[in-house]
Amino acid sequence: MTATLDYDGDIAVLDLGDDENRFSPDFLDEVNAHLDTILAKGVHGLVTTADSKFYSNGLDLDWLGAHSDQGDWYVGRVQGLLARMLTLPIPTAAAVVGHAFGAGAMLAIAHDFRVMRDDRGFFCFPEVDIRIPFTPGMAALIQAKLTPQAAVASMTTGRRFGGGDAKAYGIVDATAAEGWVTTTATDLLRPLGGKDPGTLGAIKQGMFGPAVAALTAAQAG
């Protein structure tokens, strides 16, 4: 299943898919096209979710292995999506219904808010264990959103955080029972409807300007 878009009142709900929801070039194209549609429609918020035991497993390593000559272009595309989500001019929440690993966890971090299932699923940056250092942009994104303690705990250890641990570290804002994660994320956004997109977008650009610059530098190469 590809990414699909639905609406819950004035809140857009973007389902990333029903498999590992890795960031293939086609996946990136789909998500960006849906974001274009969402912004054109003038919705009051965006929730991303999934219909799988994975929220997202991040980079499409199979594609990358088969197209190693396009690695810089590919990482630039991924980081472009992260930068776009970080500064999207509407309130955003990630409904982390299952595992979020690597760049999938970074996508969740790029939202304004995160809700995680309280009984199953892990949030993890495995880079230290798979011997892939964070790019400057990815490190800047994580450090812009997490406390120094949470950044060290998640970036340097490869630790798999369950919902309760992730909430204790401030990685997620709330946890919910199975079947209620997306609803809880949507409910977080409802009181925020009607914010002026121009103002909100400018505030996010100001808050996260250094991280956006680091993420988009790869695209300029």
- Assigned CATH for 4-217: 3.90.226.10
Secondary structure string (H, E, C) spanning the chain = CCCEEEEECCEEEEECCCCCCCECHHHHHHHHHHHHHHHHHCCCEEEEECCCCEEECCECHHHHHHCHHHHHHHHHHHHHHHHHHHCCCCCEEEEECCEEECHHHHHHHHCCEEEEECCCCCEECCHHHHCCCCCHHHHHHHHHHCCHHHHHHHHCCCCCECHHHHHHCCCCCEEECCCCHHHHHHHHHHHHCCCCHHHHHHHHHHHHHHHHHHHHHHHHC
pLDDT computed for residue 194 by the predictor: 87
Please tell me the predicted confidence (pLDDT) of residue 221.
47
Name the pTM for this structure.
0.97
| Average pLDDT score over residue span 109-131 | 97
Task: Check whether 1 has a pLDDT greater than 80.
Answer: no
Residues 94-104 have a mean pLDDT of 98
State the pLDDT confidence band at 218, using cuts at 50, 70 and 90.
low
The rounded mean pLDDT for the chain is 96
| Domain extent listing, the chain | 4-217
pLDDT digits (tens, 9 = 90+) for 37-69: 999 999 999 999 999 999 999 999 999 999 999
